[in-house]
C-alpha cells in the first residue's frame, strides 16, 4: 500500500512496486487527484462544510504538480538542445 499526499490527507493506493516508475507514479497521482477534485466539487455543490477549502487546496496542488512537470520537461528539452 502506498500513500499519496500529506499525512493528514493521504490517499491509499494499491500498486505493484516493481512496475512503479516515474510515468506510472504521475498517472497514479493525476488519477487520484482528479477523482479527489471531482469529489470536492460535488461536495461543495451539495453544501458540505469545508469542501470549498479542500477543493482550493487540491487545485493548488494540481497547479504545483503541473508547474513542476512543465519545468522538468523544459529542462530536458534544453539539455537535449545543448547536446545537439
Q: What is the pLDDT of residues 52-67, one digit of tens each?
A: 999 999 999 888 888 8
Report DSSP state, residue 2: E
Other Cβ atoms closer than 10 A to 70: 10
Residue 50 pLDDT:
92
Question: Per the confidence metrics, is the pTM higher than 0.85?
Answer: no
Alpha-helical runs (H) found in the chain: 22-45, 51-83
C-alpha cell recorded at residue 43: 461536495
What percent of the chain clears pLDDT 90, i.e. is strictly above it?
A: 29
Amino acid at each position: 500500500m502506498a500513500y499519496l499526499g500529506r499525512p493528514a490527507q493521504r490517499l491509499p493506493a494499491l500498486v505493484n512496486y516493481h512496475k512503479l516508475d516515474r510515468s506510472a507514479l504521475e498517472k497514479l497521482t493525476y488519477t487520484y487527484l482528479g477523482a479527489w477534485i471531482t469529489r470536492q466539487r460535488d461536495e461543495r455543490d451539495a453544501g458540505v462544510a469545508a469542501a470549498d477549502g479542500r477543493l482550493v487546496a487540491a487545485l493548488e496542488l494540481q497547479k504545483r504538480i503541473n508547474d513542476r512537470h512543465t519545468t522538468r520537461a523544459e529542462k530536458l528539452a534544453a539539455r537535449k538542445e545543448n547536446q545537439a
